[in-house]
Structure 1
């Protein structure tokens, strides 16, 4: 099965994550959700190259020493299956710019679960908070509802 290859990055500063409130695009599967920064691979890119480019394009910031934290596979008909490469980064340079996909905001980490985020995001935020080793998370959705989660081959309770 061909998976759409994407990246998602969470920049961290002062116990906050840089979150993107997706409010600017029409017909956006993430409309009005709060997510990290990232996007689709361009031809010839690997995960790190894509992550660095997407963060720079969407925030104006350049990541220094991003940490590759895990792979998250999404399944939700009718959308194509997606493999998301998840990064965090505490060191970056540059000045923030306006994002054409939504509003960027530093959100305290403890407040993130209360935002309108995808249910599966709560699972990987927990893994990030627990400093989990590199993980593979498979998430299956029916619309906005998470119906199945598998972490490193083991079914998770929802």
Structure 2
């Protein structure tokens, strides 16, 4: 299982979103996601978060917090354990990202983007300031969400993805 980080940098009423359009063999191709990536040898989740933020945005995060742990299962891709963060403090100037286009998107407009269905679940949890959570997301046939389990309890997906 891959270990990765995912971070949504906040600025007032917006999140910094990454439109993944530059990599060819990419599970996130054409989707809008946060920044982040795979752990390197010897890294903690925070080490990975800070390195990936610098590499993908040019920003140095100064205030961030762990919001949840995601288990992402989507055949034929390798499963991932994702440490989900939000960040409210940063220094530096935003640079171009080698993996796609970075754009500030208003939080109330994010649902209109091409997202993974499960992302709608954790955005709802983030917006409600839900305590640190564990969320398992299972996809079939590419990007069809078939199961969501929050803190060990199966969710009714339609209640979260409307």
Give the TM-score, by structure 1 length: 0.97
Instruction: Indicate conservation of the 8 Å contact 2:74/2:143, yes or no.
Output: no
- Counterpart of 1:26 (choices 24, 27, 30) is 24
Distance 2:121 2:38 in 1: 22
- Counterpart of 1:53 (choices 51, 54, 77) is 51
Give the TM-score, by structure 2 length: 0.95
Aligned to 1:67: 65
- Structure 2 unaligned runs (5+)? 158-162
Distance 1:78 1:27 in 2: 12
Classify the secondary structure of the residue corresponding to 2:43.
Answer: coil
Pair 1:105-2:103 in alignment: yes
Pair 1:157-2:148 in alignment: no
Aligned to 2:112: 114
Distance 1:105 1:79 in 2: 27
Pair 1:148-2:147 in alignment: yes
Classify the secondary structure of the residue corresponding to 1:48.
Answer: helix
* Superposition deviation, residue 147 in structure 1: 0.2
Classify the secondary structure of the residue corresponding to 2:109.
Answer: helix
- Counterpart of 1:40 (choices 38, 41, 51) is 38
Aligned length: 156
* Superposition deviation, residue 65 in structure 1: 2.1
Over aligned residue pairs, what C-alpha RMSD do you find?
A: 0.6
* Superposition deviation, residue 76 in structure 1: 1.4
Pair 1:133-2:131 in alignment: yes
* Superposition deviation, residue 57 in structure 1: 0.5
- Structure 1 unaligned runs (5+)? none
Classify the secondary structure of the residue corresponding to 2:131.
Answer: coil
